[in-house]
């Protein structure tokens, strides 16, 4: 299983790190494709100029990320 982590933003910097196995056990998906997708997502969002609305009751990470993607990186 993959393990990707994000740090809490400190001094305006959020760090991404983790491990993605060579054998993903997902048909037609390679480790390289996953890395490219992560890099593309970071490039799309880039530096944030304002704090996003944050709902502290939101505990579902997938829903949170989906909402961010629907906004296209904007508030």
Q: Report the pLDDT value the prediction gives residue 26, as an integer from 0 to 100.
A: 87
Q: In this predicted model, what pLDDT tens digit does every residue of 19-56 receive, in sequence order?
A: 999 888 889 999 999 989 888 877 766 655 555 555 56
- Specify the pLDDT at position 6: 83
Indicate the helix (H) or strand (E) that contains 44.
helix 31-45
Position 49 scores a pLDDT of 55
So what's the pLDDT on residue 28? 92
pTM of the model: 0.52
In what helix (H) or strand (E) does residue 40 lie, and over which residues does it extend? Answer: helix 31-45
**Collapsed DSSP state (helix, strand, coil) of residue 5:** strand
Q: Angle at CA 36, nearest 5°, toward 31 and 41?
A: 130
Nearest Cα to Cα of residue 1 among 21, 18, 28, 31? 21
């Amino acid at each position: 299983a993959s393990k990707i982590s994000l740090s809490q933003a400190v001094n305006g910097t959020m760090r991404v790190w983790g491990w993605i196995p060579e054998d993903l056990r997902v048909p037609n998906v390679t480790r390289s494709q996953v890395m490219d997708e992560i890099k593309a997502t970071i490039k799309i969002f880039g530096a944030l100029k304002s704090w996003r609305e944050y709902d502290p009751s939101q505990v579902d990470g997938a829903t949170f990320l989906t909402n961010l993607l629907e906004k296209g990186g904007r508030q």
